[in-house]
Amino acid sequence: MATNGDKTASSDEFWLFGYGSLIWKPPPHFDQRIPGWVNGYVRRFWQPRPPRHTRSPRARRHPDRALVLGQPGGRARLRPGQGVGVAYRIEADRVAEVKDYLDIREINGYTIHYTPFHPADGSAGPIRTLVYIGTPDNDQFTGPQDPQALAEHIYRSEGPSGLNRDYLLSLEKALDGLSPESGDTHITDLSNRVREIQASDAKGPAHTEPASHEFRKVSSIDEQEETEKPQ
């Protein structure tokens, strides 16, 4: 399924929006990288990676959780910062190569959408960008979960690119590096929870909460965000 954004880009150039690892691990070729945001999506760890992409015994036991942009429904409200990321402009003669690369890198059940991107400095736009998102019709899609259970899962999980907690903490750092307002409260809250679990673990087993990998789905993003407030 694809939705059309405004078309201000010329027909032979290609713009990609990155909201996860694409922020700190860019595509192999681009000639512009612009911080900014898209509207109408939330950044969430709503998608487990399929077991076939895991290698180590730890990864098989605890497959990692992939970040997606999901579309909020019902009573959900976006808060500033949640659609923040970067847009990359790919030169026309590199588009095919970059798309092939992304097809492999973003293979885990993502759906392609096209959405208007707003540069943070207001210099241009909106620009029509391609974005890899998660949709509820994908088998891998989990939807909202209890944030503490999710933090426990992320802390103990590993995927094809390494530890899931490194992914989360890299994302937090990358978002902080984009602009003073680009932090995402959901990502900051999860990162704080993971750091707390790590600190408890460092003190020894007596201080460690039992790992729960049973995700309690909560019924809406509003309800989830109620449970996300730091304790």
Catalytic position from the list 13, 91, 106, 226: 106
Nearest distance, CB of residue 19 and ligand SIN, angstroms: 5
Hey, which residues between 38 and 97 contact ligand SIN (CB under 6 A)?
67
22 binds ligand SIN (CB under 6 A): yes
- Single-letter amino acid code for the residue at 87: A
Nearest distance, CB of residue 9 and ligand SIN, angstroms: 18
Please tell me the number of Cα atoms within 13 Å of 172 on its side-chain side: 16
Is 106 marked active-site? yes
Hey, which residues between 156 and 195 contact ligand SIN (CB under 6 A)?
none
156: which residues sit within 8 A by CB, 6+ positions away? 62, 211, 213
How many residues bind ligand SIN (CB under 6 A)? The answer is 8
140 binds ligand SIN (CB under 6 A): no
Q: Which residue sits closest to ligand SIN, CB atoms considered?
A: 20
Q: Which two tokens stand for residue 146?
A: 């209890």
What H or E segment, with its residue span, contains residue 159? strand 158-159
Q: Count of CB atoms within 10 A of residue 186's CB?
A: 21
Q: Which of 3, 15, 19, 35 is nearest to 94 (CA)?
A: 15
The piece of 17-25, 50-58, 74-82, 218-226 that touches ligand SIN (CB under 6 A) is 17-25
**Is the C-alpha dihedral spanning 96, 15, 66, 171 positive or negative?**
positive
106 binds ligand SIN (CB under 6 A): yes
By DSSP bridging, strand 84-90 and strand 127-133 are unpaired
Nearest distance, CB of residue 132 and ligand SIN, angstroms: 5
Q: What backbone torsions phi and psi does residue 51 show, to the nearest 5 degrees? A: -55, -30
Kindly tell me which of 106 and 158 has the beta carbon lying closer to ligand SIN.
106
21 binds ligand SIN (CB under 6 A): yes
The footprint of ligand SIN (CB under 6 A) covers 18-22, 67, 106, 132
- Residues known to be catalytic: 106
